[in-house]
Amino acid sequence: MAEIGKGVTAGKLAINVQKKFTRAQEKVLQKLGKADETRDAAFEETVGSFNKQMVEGAKLQKDLKAYLLAVKTMHDASRRLQECLAEMYDPEWFGKEEVDSMVEDTDANWTDYYEKLTDESLLSLDTYLSQFPDIKARLAKRERKMVDFDSARHHFASIQKGKKKDEAKIAKAEEELGRAQKVFEELNVELQDELPVLWDSRVGVYVNTFQNLASNQEKFHRDMGKLSQNLNDVMTKLDEQRLDKKNGSASVKPEEASSSEGANHSVAGDSQPAKRLCPPPSRPPARMSLTPSPGPEDDESPETAPTSTTSVTSTSPISTPQQEQPSMAPPEPHTPVADPAPQGSHGDWGTAGGGDGGGDGGGVAPDDGADYTESLEGPRDEDSSDERRSLDQRSLDQRSLDQRS
């Protein structure tokens, strides 16, 4: 026989082609209902669980690989970021050595996290999923052997029912039926024992995978939390160092400014004269100039006697110096100016020796501005005050006598 391929002869190839044709024919007969089919409901349920388990495991493997890929990407991004920090961190800044050490520890922590996830979670899951291809192939083989068993059973039954019985053909068909049944049953029993065990093993695999994942995550984040806290402390102290330098350089300028300002105030205080605070100016009250009438010894009658005239002499308000704010330049002096008394005022009001007020007075009313200025400066002599009161009393007495007459 000519060889078709390595380990495959023409006879084997012919046998395989014959088997495939027989199986296809048997399946068509079973679908058409012309041939019965061997069925096992419990085993079919087990096979459904196996398929579900295989799909779930494949999905978990895919997602775990994607997670590990993300961890590796994060590791690369974190390493580049930490290296950037180490490069731009000046040597004279606070905590330069601590920052360099934290950069190395962060990179080592990421590497250890990725390796442990790969070894403890992904590899164990890969070992678990490696069983499925072999079992899946055996299930397919069982399916083929079951079809061969059904075909052999139908062939043996058809020979027995034939009108012309051939014992040799019957014996050969019986032998093929026995061989097909043995192969199918052996494989079927093995799978019935293995599939439930494999279905139960998924719980342990999931527990191991996620438990390792959780423990590695907890350790990784705990270590990263410590490194992050240390980095935060270093950055806080660096900011305090910056503020101390800034405040130290800025504290010199206020001291110099305060010293120069104090010198300016001392010079200004020596140059300006002390000013006495005065009350705000107000209009002084109008004074009355009383002209006494002739005494009772005059010969004129009351009808022809001239009545005493009272003239009210008002003076214009005195402009007093206003209170000024202290300034560098000395203030200009302001001299109060009093309006001259009107002509025709009677009475000896302005002289100290005016007598008893009996004659024609030609004096001038006292300057109200001067009186106001005197009131600001302080009281006059006691003699002047007594004399003024005496004059006022005499004027009042004379006025009373005139009214009686």
- Measuring CA to CA, which residue among 146, 144, 168, 169 is closest to residue 159? 169
CA count, 13 A, side-chain hemisphere, 214: 6
Find the range with the poorest average confidence among 9-13, 17-21, 277-281, 309-313: 309-313
Regarding beta strands 8-9 and 3-5, do their DSSP bridges make them parallel or antiparallel, or are they unpaired?
antiparallel
Q: H-helix or E-strand containing 318?
A: none
Region 327-331 average pLDDT? 48
| Confidence at residue 20, expressed as pLDDT on a 0 to 100 scale | 74
- Separation between Cα atoms, residue 311 and residue 344, nearest integer Å: 9
Q: What is the DSSP letter of 37?
A: -
> How confident is the model over 176-193, as pLDDT tens digits?
888 888 998 999 999 999
What's the pTM value of the predicted model, to 2 decimals?
0.53
Q: Which range scores top for mean pLDDT: 71-75, 185-189, 351-355, 391-395?
A: 71-75
> How confident is the model over 100-134, as pLDDT tens digits?
999 999 999 999 999 999 999 999 899 999 999 99
Burial classification of residue 142, based on how many CB atoms lie within 10 Å of its CB (0-12 exposed, 13-18 middle, 19 or more buried): buried
What does the DSSP assignment read for 329-393? SPPPP----PPPPPTT--SS-S-TT-TTS-S--------HHHHHHHHHH----HHHHHHHHHHHH
Return the percentage of the chain with pLDDT > 70, whole number.
62
- Measuring CA to CA, which residue among 175, 195, 163 is closest to residue 40? 195
Tracing tokens 């006059």 back to the chain, one arrives at 380
| Confidence at residue 53, expressed as pLDDT on a 0 to 100 scale | 94
Mean pLDDT over each residue of the chain, to the nearest integer: 72
| Confidence at residue 105, expressed as pLDDT on a 0 to 100 scale | 93
> How confident is the model over 27-76, as pLDDT tens digits?
777 777 777 677 788 888 999 999 999 999 999 999 999 999 999 999 99
Q: How many CB atoms lie within 10 A of CB 116?
A: 17
- Measuring CA to CA, which residue among 216, 37, 35, 185 is closest to residue 117? 216
CA count, 13 A, side-chain hemisphere, 68: 21
Residue 366 confidence (pLDDT) above 50: no
Residue 13 confidence (pLDDT) above 80: no
Residue 83 confidence (pLDDT) above 70: yes
> How confident is the model over 246-304, as pLDDT tens digits?
887 666 555 555 555 554 454 444 444 444 444 444 454 444 444 444 444 444 443 43
Residue type at 122? L
Structure-derived torsion over alpha carbons of residues 62, 64, 70, 74, reported in degrees to the nearest 10? -160
- Taking only Cα atoms into account, the Rg of the chain, rounded to an integer number of angstroms, comes to 66
CB 224 within 8 A of CB 109: yes
Residue type at 77? A
CB 158 within 8 A of CB 120: no
Helix (DSSP H) and strand (DSSP E) numbers for the chain: 9, 4
Region 145-151 average pLDDT? 85
| Confidence at residue 259, expressed as pLDDT on a 0 to 100 scale | 58
| Confidence at residue 255, expressed as pLDDT on a 0 to 100 scale | 57
CA 376 vs. chain centroid, Å, equals: 67
Region 338-362 average pLDDT? 42
Region 300-319 average pLDDT? 40
- Separation between Cα atoms, residue 22 and residue 34, nearest integer Å: 15
User: Facing residues of 194 across strands?
Assistant: none
Which residues lie closer than 8 Å to 286 by C-beta, 6 or more apart? 312, 313, 314, 315
- Separation between Cα atoms, residue 137 and residue 152, nearest integer Å: 22
Region 299-320 average pLDDT? 40
Residue 219 confidence (pLDDT) above 90: yes
User: Facing residues of 8 across strands?
Assistant: 5
Q: Where is pLDDT greater, at 143 or 1?
A: 143
SS (H, E, C) 233-247: HHHHHHHHHHHHHHH
